[in-house]
Structure 1
Amino acid sequence: MSNVLLSSNSSLPTIPISEQLSSLATQANEQFLRFHLLPDTTALLPIHQLTEVLTIPRGQIVPIFQMPAWVMGAYNWRGEVLWMVDLGHLVGLTPWYQQAASGSAYTAIVLQAKTKSSTSTQANSEMLGLVVNRVEDIEWCHADWIQSPPSASVTPELVPFLRGYWLKNNGEMLVIIDGNAIIASMPKQSV
C-alpha cells in the first residue's frame, strides 16, 4: 500500500499520509512536564511556560521574613534573584518544612510567564522557582482530553491554578496546572 494520499485531480500535489498525521498531531497536542508533589499528586505544567529544571542544595535558598508561608525564600540563579515557592504548600498539600528531609537538594522548576504591565503595551517576563518533590518526564496531551475536575476532588487552594485534569487510559489522573495563573497570583513584592 502506498504512503501517498492520491487525488482525483492530478494537478494537486500529493502529501504523504505520515506528514498529514504528524501535522494533525502537533496541532492538537501540547507538551507538558510531569512532576510529583507530596503526598501522592502527579501534576503537569506546559513546557512553553518553563525555562529550566534545577537541583538546589539545601541551605542555598535564603529565607525572607514577612512573606507568605509558601514562599521559601530567594535563590541566586544566574546572578538574578529567583523567588522560590513551595508549590505543594501553595496548592494546599503538605509543606516542605513538615516533610521528612530526603536528600541534600531541592528539585525546582523555573517558571516563566509573559505579563503585560498596566502602564506598558510591551510584554514583560517574570520568573519564579517552584520547588517540587521530583520531576519525571515529558507528556503529550491532546487538548480535548483535558477535563474540568469535580470541585470536591481538589483542594480549594489548587482551584485558582488549575487548568484541568487528564485521566489517562491506565486510570492515572494527572492534574494540569497553569503557570501563568501562579505567577499572576504572587504578591507583587515577591516576584
Structure 2
Amino acid sequence: MKKNIIYILLLTVIGFAGCKSKTTINRDEAGEAISDYLTANPEYKTTHFKFGEIKFNTTNEMNELGKYRTLESKGLVTLSLKEAKKKFLSKDSSFVYQITLTEKASPLVLKQSDDKATVKTIEYVLADKKPVDFAQVSSSTAKVTVTLKKVNTDFAIFDEDANENSSFITKTYKLKLSKDEGWKVQK
C-alpha cells in the first residue's frame, strides 16, 4: 500500500511538473530567438541607385562614373558607351552611358523602377557575441540588447554615410512568450 501511494504521488508530481509552462529564458535561448528573427527579417540600410541612360560631364559626375566602373568590375552592372564628346585638353568632355543591372545584383535590389532602384548598402548581422544585455521584464516578456555588426555591400560606395565612425550598432528587441511557439521577437 505504501508503494502504491508513493507511486501515485510521484506520478502526480511529474504530471504537474510536465503541465507547467516554461516562463524563464536564458541568454542562449534569447540569442537563438533573435537569430531566428534576423534570418526571417534582416536588418539593412538602403540608398537610391540610378541606372539607365546617364550623362557624365563634370568632375563630380566623372567620380560617379568611377563608382559605376567599380560595380561593373564586380559584375553587378554593365556599362555601354552610347555617346562621347571628347574635347582635347578640356574639362568639357561628356560621355553618355547605358547602365544596366545584372542578375548578380538582384539579391541587393529591393525595389526597382525604370531608372532608379532601392539597393542595400549595409547589412546588419548578429555579432559573434550573443546578447550583451538581457533582462526578463515579466514571466512572459524579456528585453534583449544585441550587437549587430555592419557588413558593407558593393553598393555602399553610393551611400554617403556608409563609412560612419562605428562598425556596429546596438539594438534592443522585446521578446514575448507564446505557448505555441516559445519565445519570439515582438514586432
TM-score category by the smaller chain?
Answer: under 0.3
Larger Rg belongs to = 2
Question: Which structure is higher in helix share?
Answer: 2
